[in-house]
Amino acid sequence: MRPSTPLSEEETQQAPKGSLGTAMWRLFGLLASDDMKRWRFRMALALGLTVIAKIFAVAAPVYFGEGINIVSAREAGETVANAATLFVFAFLAYAGARFLSAGLPQLRDGLFAPVSQDAQRITQVRAFGHVQGLSLAYHQTKRTGALNRIIDRGARAVDFLMRFLIFNIAPTLLELVLAAGVLSLNYGWEFAAIAVVTVIAYMALTWSVTEWRVKIRRRMNEADNEANARAVDTLINFETVKAFAAEKRETRAYDDALTRYAGAAVRSQSSLALLNGAQAFIMNAGLLAMALTAGWKAWTGVLQPGDVAAVTLILMNIYQPLNILGWAYREIKQGAVDMERLFDTLAIKPDVADVPDAGQLTVTGGAVRFDDVSFAHDGRSRSVSGVSLDIPAGSFVGLCGPSGAGKSTMLKLLFRFYDPASGRVLIDGQDLTSVEQDSVRDALGLVPQEVVLFNDSLRANVIYGRPEASNEDIMAALERAQLGEFVRNLPEGLETKVGERGLKLSGGEKQRVGVARAILKDPAVLVLDEATSALDSETEKEVQAALSEAARGRTTIAVAHRLSTIAAADQIIVMDEGAIAETGTHGELLALDGIYARMWARQSEAGGAEVLDFPGETDRAASEV
């Protein structure tokens, strides 16, 4: 059964609604996972410290009120020493409770810091690994900058939601319950009612306005993603931008994206001012109601002066975490959105997935077979159709044909970047859909038209296909790729940095690094995808010599635009409109006087049809010309 199709680019960039309940469920699922098992004692300890801190936070105003009561209502027969002792004790208790209510959360944060960081790390690694495992179809439609933002924001949301939901909002609700109990038992049910009504009104206002503001924040994020993605695209492709003198056009497009962001940001700031003003009104109305009620009861002799201070301080203590509730709720809601988007990405299923009982590919020689293979890319009626082809182990086969004929699609099917819609692709008689993808790609080596290098050292780029290679093996591969002398003449040798995408190297040097990488990997099947078409004639000859060395003793499949690079092949496959149109050697295809012959004639007239050497085939190809 084929896995489900991944979300489209449009779907992955749409802002989700961000269910808070779903975010909490996922958050607790992460904390309860086996990866977080080693932190469970710290989690329990941090939660316990939070509860104790809230108990002291509610008790502190009571002690303060008692101290005032002792000062204002010392009994006539009571000695000054006894009153002073009670007074000092009450205020010491107040100070100690205040310190513990503030200090214990600091201790908790210190204990919980490694838990939070590890949760972020696990989330990011999971997301990064999942995205790496998605199929080529997904990566061809996504934007790197936007995807990186999704992963980064989602991981940061994990940390934020843990700190504010578990250690701020939930404890605030606990403090409200404790405070309501203390107010009702010690001072009267009216004070508990005022506190509860005030907090509920505050939270209801915050919730309703924030729901409206979240929509604005979504538009801000979408505009931010667009601006970031455009900036990354432009900076990565700056050579193309400069070549087409498009700097001003790209800057204007970037400005347009930032203008949309700025408009949403203005609306966000205006709505924030409205929310803050309404929150301040509710908070002060609650304080006024509490003070008036307590003052009246004190006037009538029901309460003492210290009780007025106590009930006021209790409500003010509840207000302290509520002061950031508006901001925290907005960020929590946004965190839920960011987390949902991250988990939406994690829920994407790859088009190409290993079957449950997939085994390892066993390579015995490197014979490749396409058995009645058909496949179509999205938006096309046909890419390849009914292609059957046998490539014997150790042979050199060339693929050519007009643009869009299906040559590159054949290679992608071989690498199992896609699975055929029908038919089979086999290596040494094993259907690639029945074995693990990694084992397929381990058996293949690729030298593409433009070798992609990482912004790292020469060594790191050469050993990419075989990280455990020794220095001797690396230098041997470089010698075979005709790069040995070049590397020895570099001041830093193998540790030389190649720059972003290898920009510090020439085109020919980059191609030969790609060849060295393929040689060092020592694959059973070598794939050359227009490996010299972007080079000048002299450099092409140098790289072709390196390719000839890389191809020696292994199955080689070369896709070529310049027919001279495959003229010496054991077999040349000419493709047209997704099907095999002609098959034969160079001489046989010239004698056929078909598509290949016409292509060769055009390149000969342009002076680009000189037969280039390939191992063991030069004499025959030259004689056939």
The answer to whether 594 and 575 are in contact (CB under 8 A) is no
Q: Using 50, 70 and 90 to split pLDDT, how confident is the model at 391?
A: very high
- Tokens coding 345: 């990405």
Q: Sign of the CA dihedral 64, 67, 69, 71?
A: negative
DSSP, collapsed to helix, strand or coil, labels residue 259 as helix
379 and 483 inside one domain? no
Q: Using 50, 70 and 90 to split pLDDT, how confident is the model at 13?
A: very low
Most confident of 97-101, 134-138, 159-163, 338-342: 97-101
Share of the chain above pLDDT 90, in %: 18
136 and 167 inside one domain? yes
537 within a domain of the structure (yes/no): no
Segment among 140-154, 569-583, 601-615 with least mean pLDDT:
601-615
pLDDT tens digits, 584-619: 999 999 999 999 999 999 888 766 555 555 544 434
Q: Which helix (H) or strand (E) holds 262?
A: helix 247-299
Give the chain's mean pLDDT. 82
Instruction: Kindly report the CATH number assigned to the domain that includes residue 247.
Output: 1.20.1560.10
Spatial separation of the C-alpha atoms in residues 477 and 484, rounded to whole Å: 8
Which residues lie closer than 8 Å to 286 by C-beta, 6 or more apart? 194, 195, 197, 198, 199, 201, 202, 315, 319
pLDDT number for residue 7: 40
296 and 435 inside one domain? no
93 within a domain of the structure (yes/no): yes
State which residues form the domain around 53. 9-346
The answer to whether 537 and 349 are in contact (CB under 8 A) is no
Spatial separation of the C-alpha atoms in residues 585 and 570, rounded to whole Å: 6
Q: Is 403 exposed, middle or buried (0-12, 13-18, 19+ CB in 10 A)?
A: exposed
pLDDT tens digits, 513-545: 888 888 888 899 999 888 776 666 666 677 777
476 within a domain of the structure (yes/no): yes
Cα distances (Å, whole numbers) of residue 217 to 150, 229, 256, 331: 15, 18, 18, 10
pLDDT tens digits, 410-438: 998 999 988 898 999 999 999 999 999 88
Higher pLDDT, residue 200 or 502: 200
Residue 68: pLDDT above 60?
yes
616 within a domain of the structure (yes/no): yes
Cα distances (Å, whole numbers) of residue 450 to 241, 508, 528: 18, 10, 11
507 and 560 inside one domain? no
Instruction: Kindly report the CATH number assigned to the domain that includes residue 373.
Output: 3.40.50.300
pLDDT number for residue 376: 85
The total of structural domains in the chain comes to 3
pLDDT number for residue 618: 38
Residue 494: pLDDT above 60?
yes
Q: Using 50, 70 and 90 to split pLDDT, how confident is the model at 341?
A: confident
Closest CA to 329 of 217, 174, 177: 217
Higher pLDDT, residue 189 or 335: 189
204 and 294 inside one domain? yes
158 and 48 inside one domain? yes
151 within a domain of the structure (yes/no): yes
Name the strands in the sheet holding 430-431, side by side, starting at the edge strand that comes first in the sequence: 384-391, 368-375, 422-427, 430-431
H runs (alpha helix) in 347-405: none
421 within a domain of the structure (yes/no): yes
Which one of 346, 373, 395 terminates a domain?
Answer: 346
pLDDT number for residue 93: 92
423 and 454 inside one domain? no
128 and 151 inside one domain? yes
74 and 121 inside one domain? yes
459 within a domain of the structure (yes/no): yes
pTM for the structure as a whole: 0.66
pLDDT number for residue 85: 78
pLDDT tens digits, 88-122: 888 899 999 999 988 998 999 888 889 888 888 88
DSSP, collapsed to helix, strand or coil, labels residue 63 as helix
Residue 18: pLDDT above 60?
no
144 and 247 inside one domain? yes
Which one of 505, 522, 539 terminates a domain?
Answer: 522
Q: What's the per-residue H, E or C state across 181-236?
A: HHHHHHCCHHHHHHHHHHHHHHHHHHHHHHHHHHHHHHHHHHHHHHHHHHHHHHHH
- Tokens coding 374: 């058909």
Spatial separation of the C-alpha atoms in residues 116 and 102, rounded to whole Å: 20
Q: Using 50, 70 and 90 to split pLDDT, how confident is the model at 406?
A: confident
Which one of 301, 328, 346 terminates a domain?
Answer: 346
CB atoms within 10 A of CB 115: 19
Q: Mean pLDDT across the stretch 304-326? A: 82
pLDDT number for residue 15: 45
394 and 310 inside one domain? no
Cα distances (Å, whole numbers) of residue 528 to 91, 163, 551, 559, 567: 83, 52, 9, 6, 14
pLDDT number for residue 344: 82
299 and 413 inside one domain? no
Which residues lie closer than 8 Å to 470 by C-beta, 6 or more apart? none
1 within a domain of the structure (yes/no): no
